[in-house]
């Protein structure tokens, strides 16, 4: 990854996380632009993930949907399953925060069925499913505890 892209991505992330600063959002957008111009797909995927994560943190749900739509087009076109999973998990988190529990549950279960998740992604998706269970009045041990077998 180029030093400039990495710096914009890292500094922008911290600025937005700390203060929701406009300059930080601009740095992240600049990092994304540079990564796309240089055809650095993995770097672009990381920047999309940062933008999506921050959109959830700061409850910018329109931004979340826009970033994830663009990011998913990129990650899915390049078969970056782990990056795709991150974006789908962030979308589900946004749906949960907006009370769209059924949509979030369906998306998370589909994700768990379709992609071989890394351990952290597996835990995040189970955590979000448990959160839905609890908000719906169950004990949080329903769908979140299901193991999914993947078809090769």
**At 116, phi and psi to the nearest 5?**
-75, 100
Written as six digits, the tokens of 126 are 């189970």
SS3 135: helix
pLDDT tens per residue across span 80-128:
999 999 999 999 999 999 999 999 999 999 999 999 999 999 999 999 9
pLDDT at 2: 66
């Amino acid at each position: 990854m180029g030093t400039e892209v990495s710096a914009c991505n890292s500094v922008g992330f911290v600025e937005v996380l700390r203060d929701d600063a406009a300059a930080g959002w601009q740095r992240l957008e600049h990092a994304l632009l540079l990564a796309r111009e240089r055809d650095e797909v993995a770097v672009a995927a990381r920047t999309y993930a940062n933008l999506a994560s921050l959109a959830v943190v700061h409850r910018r749900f329109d931004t979340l949907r826009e970033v994830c739509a663009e990011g998913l087009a990129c990650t899915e076109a390049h078969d970056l399953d782990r990056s795709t999973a991150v974006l789908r998990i962030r979308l589900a988190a946004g749906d949960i925060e907006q009370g769209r529990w059924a949509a979030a549950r369906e998306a998370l279960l589909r994700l768990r069925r379709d992609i071989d998740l890394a351990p952290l992604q597996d835990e995040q998706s189970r955590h979000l499913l448990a959160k839905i269970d609890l908000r719906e009045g169950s004990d949080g041990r329903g769908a979140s505890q299901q193991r999914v077998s993947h078809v090769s």
